[in-house]
């Protein structure tokens, strides 16, 4: 819901050009809330309000706007004002933004930026999306190993204002090679002996990523070592930036979203759902949907082979969907459980025998319950049906089939992600519809086999 609480007043202040009140509005609240209260305004109105905040605050509020609004402001407002704002934004956010701004606008803005910032932008834009380099900010607390603790603090006092975080202070040699790290906690503790060199208090067993590493590498390393920021180095182990906790949390969420989309057989979207074009959406869904459609043809061929049997006992047809969906749902559950367990590190490839044995038993337990229900259902639904066989064994067909199909679904669903992983593929890759496709064929074959065995023609 858009927060409309302040909208009329804001518009009134704008109409009256009430500088004092507009300034008061910008400074009174947490920047995130200020941004929230402006959601109902147009990008032009938003910028007109923001003009009354000083640069640092303007920047903070701007960063809390939605992506579309940020782009609209950059593309639509006065180029020199926008350039002033951009020059001050954290380097990583700036690059992300400019990536989506119309190229001709970027060309107009770039020359208005200070030389240093301009070079920075061109350098960071060179990193591919989803690499550590594209996630990092270049502004980090970086101090020389020869400084004393006292001088380090003095230096920090001077530069801290321009940094995103000083949670970790990175210690470098004269060629900016990363040598060690000092947490702000450690630095403050070390103040009791202010003449120690940074080299003496720093931690040298470093955890870092290369700028070319994939985003997944960043999130798994940060989570494993419980870091709040991770340094990024180039191939010569020179410190070139850091990735901070907020970008890591965003990345973890992004990964979860992409996994969920892959599980459902959608190639991960680059943008939000509403921002993705129809043709892209069609393509990213269509590829897998088509592959699955083709695999479903095998199910059709399998059924075709039993056409004669099915025409003998026509009541068998009505249970086809019931049996297929039971197997599919059971497989779906198992696949998701194994995929999430693999992602969380709870399960490894070598556990496959254990998993097989568990799923076999759980599958039988689940199938058992459904078989009992199936017995009741087939009694009711087959009443008054005709077929060319002795009717005493009829009610057993559905329960036995359901028991076997649910168990096979559970086993298939659990083994498929493990197989994908063994083959070096992403376990979450379209496993859900793929499991469904396999368990569909299995379901049909099992169903027809059980029927043929139990329903011998009386003739």
Half-sphere CA count of 303, side-chain side, radius 13 A: 16
158 vs 174 by CB, closer to a copy of itself = 158
**Rounded-to-integer distance, Cα 437 and Cα 414, Å:** 14
- In 3D, which of 327, 149, 164 has the Cα closest to residue 243? 164
124 vs 335 by CB, closer to a copy of itself = 335
| Shortest distance, position 439 Cβ to a copy of itself, whole Å | 10
| Shortest distance, position 445 Cβ to a copy of itself, whole Å | 12
Half-sphere CA count of 339, side-chain side, radius 13 A: 26
| Shortest distance, position 17 Cβ to a copy of itself, whole Å | 26
Q: Where are the beta strands (DSSP E) in 322-437?
A: none
163 vs 454 by CB, closer to a copy of itself = 163
- In 3D, which of 11, 77, 76, 74 has the Cα closest to residue 38? 11
| Shortest distance, position 80 Cβ to a copy of itself, whole Å | 28
- In 3D, which of 243, 240, 239, 237 has the Cα closest to residue 214? 243
36 vs 81 by CB, closer to a copy of itself = 36
| Shortest distance, position 279 Cβ to a copy of itself, whole Å | 8
For residue 177, give every residue at least 6 positions away whose Cβ sits within 8 Å of its Cβ, in sequence order, or none.
236, 237, 238, 239
239 vs 339 by CB, closer to a copy of itself = 339
Q: Where are the beta strands (DSSP E) in 71-112?
A: none
| Shortest distance, position 432 Cβ to a copy of itself, whole Å | 7
106 vs 219 by CB, closer to a copy of itself = 219
123 vs 186 by CB, closer to a copy of itself = 186
Tokens linked to 439: 């368990």
φ, ψ at 66 (rounded to 5°): -65, 160
CA 304 to chain centre: 42
121 vs 222 by CB, closer to a copy of itself = 222
Tokens linked to 394: 């009829």
| Shortest distance, position 16 Cβ to a copy of itself, whole Å | 26
Tokens linked to 409: 């679904």
Place of tokens 């994908």: 420
| Shortest distance, position 172 Cβ to a copy of itself, whole Å | 19
Place of tokens 């943008």: 271
Would you tell me how many other CB atoms lie within 10 Å of the CB of residue 425? 13
């Amino acid at each position: 819901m858009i927060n409309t609480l302040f909208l009329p007043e804001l518009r009134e202040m704008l109409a009256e050009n009430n500088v004092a009140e507009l300034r008061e509005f910008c400074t009174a609240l947490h920047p995130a809330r200020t941004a929230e209260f402006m959601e109902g305004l147009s990008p032009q109105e938003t910028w007109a309000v923001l003009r009354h905040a000083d640069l640092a605050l303007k920047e903070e509020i701007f960063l809390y706007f939605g992506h579309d609004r940020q782009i609209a402001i950059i593309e639509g407002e006065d180029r020199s004002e926008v350039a002033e704002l951009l020059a001050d934004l954290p380097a990583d956010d700036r690059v992300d933004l400019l990536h989506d701004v119309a190229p001709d606008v970027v060309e107009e803005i770039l020359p208005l930026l200070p030389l240093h910032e301009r070079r920075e932008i061109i350098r960071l834009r060179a990193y591919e999306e989803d690499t550590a380099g594209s996630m990092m900010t270049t502004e980090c607390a970086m101090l020389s190993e020869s400084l004393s603790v006292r001088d380090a603090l003095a230096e920090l006092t001077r530069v801290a204002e321009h940094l995103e975080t000083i949670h970790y202070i990175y210690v470098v040699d004269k060629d900016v090679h990363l040598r060690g790290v000092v947490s702000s906690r450690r630095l403050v503790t070390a103040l009791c002996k202010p003449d120690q060199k940074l080299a003496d208090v720093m931690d040298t067993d470093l955890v870092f990523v290369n700028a070319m590493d994939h985003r997944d590498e960043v999130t798994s390393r940060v989570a494993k070592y419980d870091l709040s920021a991770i340094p990024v180095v180039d191939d010569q182990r020179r410190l070139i930036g850091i990735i901070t906790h907020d970008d890591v949390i965003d990345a973890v969420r992004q990964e979860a979203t992409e996994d969920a989309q892959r599980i459902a057989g959608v190639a991960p979207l680059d943008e939000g759902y509403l921002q993705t074009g129809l043709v892209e959406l069609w393509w990213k869904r269509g590829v897998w949907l088509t592959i699955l459609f083709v695999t479903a043809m095998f199910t059709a061929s399998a059924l075709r082979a039993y056409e004669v049997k099915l025409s003998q006992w026509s009541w068998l047809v009505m249970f086809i969907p019931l049996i297929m969906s039971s197997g599919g749902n059971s497989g779906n559950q198992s696949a998701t459980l194994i995929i999430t367990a693999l992602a969380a590190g709870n399960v490894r490839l070598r556990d496959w025998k254990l998993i097989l044995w568990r799923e076999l038993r759980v599958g039988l337990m689940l199938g058992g319950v459904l078989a009992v229900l199936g017995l009741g259902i087939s009694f009711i639904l087959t009443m008054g049906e005709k077929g060319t066989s002795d009717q005493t064994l009829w009610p057993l067909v559905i329960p036995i089939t359901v028991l076997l199909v649910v168990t096979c679904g559970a086993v298939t669903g659990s083994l498929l992600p493990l197989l994908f992983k063994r083959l070096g593929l992403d376990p979450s890759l379209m496993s859900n519809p793929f499991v469904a496709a396999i368990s569909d064929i299995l379901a049909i074959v099992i169903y027809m086999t059980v029927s043929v065995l139990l329903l011998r023609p009386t003739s």
